Amino acid sequence: METFYSIHPLIALLIPLIAIGLIVLSGRRPNIREFWTLAASIAMFGTIFLMLPDVLSGRYPGISLLNVSPGISLAFTVDTAGIIFGLCASALWIATSVYSIGYMRTLAEKKQTRYYAFFALCLASVVGIAFSANLLTFVLFYEILTIATYPLVIHKETPGAISAGRKYLAYLLTGGLALIAAAALTYHYAGSLDFRSGGFLSNLPGEPNLMLLFVLFLIGFGMKSALIPFHSWLPTAMIAPTPVSALLHAVAVVNAGVFGFVRLVGYIFGPQLFHDIGAWQILSIMAAVTIIISSLLAMFQDNLKRRLAYSTIGHLSYIVLGVSLLSADAWVGGVIHLVNHAVLKITLFFCAGAIYARTHVENISELNGMGKQMPITMGVFTLAAIGLVGIPPLNGFISKWFLGQGALDSGLWIYMGLLLLSGLLNAGYFFPIVRRAFFMTSEKRTRVSEASAFMVVPLVVTAALALMLGLVPDGIFHFFKLASDTATSIFSGVAR
């Protein structure tokens, strides 16, 4: 496991940044503008994918830029955890870009240049977060992500959108500020902020101080991960256009939050210290509570996107649970779920957006008979719902299996039960939608067709990706090997 100097991480970061300029310049010619977005997403994905062989063989590309504080530099290292997040986000950006073209043009939304430009900025921040080598770089890009997503949340500029944006900023800025305080404390205790697998904090400052530090990190990362009680910005932010909800609020922003927890437990505190101070219990209980409550709340939502939002909150806590259970299997399950949930949830949001774009239907109660009218969309929806419930052969089952194994390994049968219960609850809020779509007839006489190909093709592709990841977990991207390598590097040397 060594780091070598490579310019690839910097290129991956620069591509979306340069794209912002190109998008703004070509604002008057939509086709050229969309071309830049697609080109940037493919180029960024390609750059990250090219780094994969090195990372798989244990050689991590890294680059260190200027100092941003004496002794701390803006540094990037592409390790196994980071490349999982990076690959996932960049691959899904390609899908979302194609989807956005269809969605924005079908609905003839205004301010599309602003939309595409800030989207690129968000992806640049996500790459920065994924590849950051120390906590200060992480915090820098974390804050930029919050600000970059704000114009996307308030895109529609209605009073509802503006107040949703205010709530969004209030929650996420608070989290960011807690994170800054946490970073300062960490620097004070450890003298360095570089991530190291197995953690770099020692027990010197004493337990109460470390608990305070943990609470600050909890607030900081918990906001973006939508842990209860920090979750309420997520359903409110569903007022954004669906591609925004899909990529950002199911993949990028919230994954940045749980990725933060991955870094926290694995690379800052380290599993041993995390266990010793008892923080793992707090985190796992909060995750468990979030899973149950969010699934229950999901069942009462009529708005389709809000139901998906609560489902997201629950599934994010799967990842947090996996990270906090401190066993290698649970870790693999949690990290793999980061990818699996992202792919499945983005599919579901794509379907919801396609329905809205074609019919302006937002509520589940109006979905009667949609299966007959948009068979591909609803079929894919059903497939993705099955995946999230955790039924094989889709990928959701893989992550649940490993989470369950991890719970059993730690001797915590209750979490195993929790996972089973939550699967049932997932079914409880997804299958009514499927039932309405396929088995109930609607009174409306107007026939609608599938949404535009720009929207349907991406959602089929992501669903196919989910299926492939379920059948061959270590498929093209080797996510599975990356996740288990992460677990090995973190847990080696931990007496368990």
Partner 1 sequence: MMNHLPVIIPVALLFFAFITFLCGLWRRSLLFPLSLTGISVSLAAAVLGLVRVLQYGPLHYFLGGWAPPLGIEYVLDNLSAFMSVLVLLVAFLSMIYSRQSFLKEVPDKINALYPLLLLMLAGMAGIIVTGDLFNVYVFLEIASLTAYAVMGIGNDKAPVAVIRYIILGTVGACFYLLGVGFLYFVTGSLNMADVASLLPGLYGSRLVIAAAVFIVIGAGLKMALFPFHIWLPDVYTYAPSGVITFVAPLMTKVGAYILIRMVVTVFLPEYLNNTLPIMSIISWLAAAGIIVGSVMAIAQKDLRRMLAYSSVAQISYIALGIGLANPLGLIGALLHVLNHAFMKGCLFQVSGGIRYCTGLWQIPQFRGLGRRMPWTMAAFTVAAISMVGIPPAAGFFSKWYLVLGSVQADNWIFVAVIVLSSLLNAVYFFRVLEKVYLGEPGENPAVTAAVDPPGSMVMPMITLAAGIIILGVINAVIVTNILQPIASSLS
Q: Does 133 bind partner 1 (CB under 8 A)?
A: no
Residue 490's closest CA among 297, 332, 312? 332
Count CB-CB contacts under 10 A for residue 143: 18
Which is closer to partner 1, CB of 148 or CB of 342? 148
Decide: is 187 part of the binding site for partner 1 (CB under 8 A).
yes
Closest separation in Å from C-beta 65 to partner 1: 10
Write down the residue that tokens 């039932």 correspond to.
435
- Maximum Cα–Cα distance for the chain, whole Å? 71
Comparing C-alpha atoms, which of 241, 422, 270 is closest to residue 331?
Answer: 270
17 binds partner 1 (CB under 8 A): no
Tell me: does residue 166 bind partner 1 (CB under 8 A). yes
Cα separation, 133 vs 140, in Å, equals: 12
Options 25, 170, 420, 448; binder of partner 1; rule CB under 8 A: 170
Amino acid at 146: T
3-class state of residue 383 by DSSP: helix
Among 147, 289, 467, 494, binds partner 1 (CB under 8 A): 147
CB atoms within 10 A of CB 302: 11
Q: How many CB atoms lie within 10 A of CB 471?
A: 13
Torsion 283-285-287-289 (CA) sign: negative
Q: Between 212 and 416, whose beta carbon lies closer to partner 1?
A: 212
Residue 140 or 328 having the CB closest to partner 1: 140
**Considering the complex, what minimum distance in angstroms separates the CB of residue 110 from partner 1?**
12
Of the candidate residues 173, 292, 460, 494, the single one contacting partner 1 (CB under 8 A): 173
Query: Does residue number 376 form part of the binding site for partner 1 (CB under 8 A)?
Result: no
The two tokens of residue 313 are 């909150």
Which residues does 206 contact at the CB level (< 8 Å), separation at least 6?
A: none
Strands (DSSP E) contained in 295-380 are none
Nearer to partner 1, 173 or 494 (CB): 173
Peptide bond into 16 cis (omega under 30): no
Which one-letter DSSP state was computed for residue 194? Answer: B
Give SS3 for 21: helix
Question: Of these, 24, 181, 296, 494, which contacts partner 1 (CB under 8 A)?
Answer: 181
Binding of partner 1 by 240 (CB under 8 A): no
Q: Single out the residue of 7, 50, 162, 476 in contact with partner 1 (rule: CB under 8 A).
A: 162
- Report the side by side order of strands in the sheet with 2-5: 2-5, 59-69, 72-77
Question: Is residue 1 a contact residue for partner 1 (CB under 8 A)?
Answer: no
Residue 444 found at the interface with partner 1 (CB under 8 A): no
Q: What are phi and psi of 204, to 5 degrees?
A: -55, -45
- Does position 174 interact with partner 1 (CB under 8 A)? The reply is yes
**Residue count, binding to partner 1 (CB under 8 A):** 27
Whose Cβ is closer to partner 1: residue 114's or residue 196's?
Answer: 114
List all residues 6 or more positions away from 7 whose beta carbon is below 8 Å from its beta carbon: 63
24 lies in the binding site for partner 1 (CB under 8 A): no
Closer Cβ to partner 1, 187 or 438, answer by number: 187
| Residue in the block written with tokens 């470390």 | 210
Measured from the CB atom, the residue of 188 and 372 that comes closer to partner 1 is 188
Single residue of 34, 79, 143, 329 touching partner 1 by CB under 8 A: 143
Interacting positions 37-96 with partner 1 (CB under 8 A): 66-70
Cβ distance to partner 1 smaller for residue 9 or 151: 151
Residue 113 lies near partner 1 (rule: CB under 8 A): no
Q: Which pair of tokens denotes residue 219? A: 């607030």
| Residue 193 binding partner 1, by CB under 8 A | no
| Contacting residues toward partner 1, per CB under 8 A | 66-70, 139-140, 143-144, 146-147, 154, 157, 162, 166, 169-170, 173-174, 177-178, 180-181, 184-185, 187-188
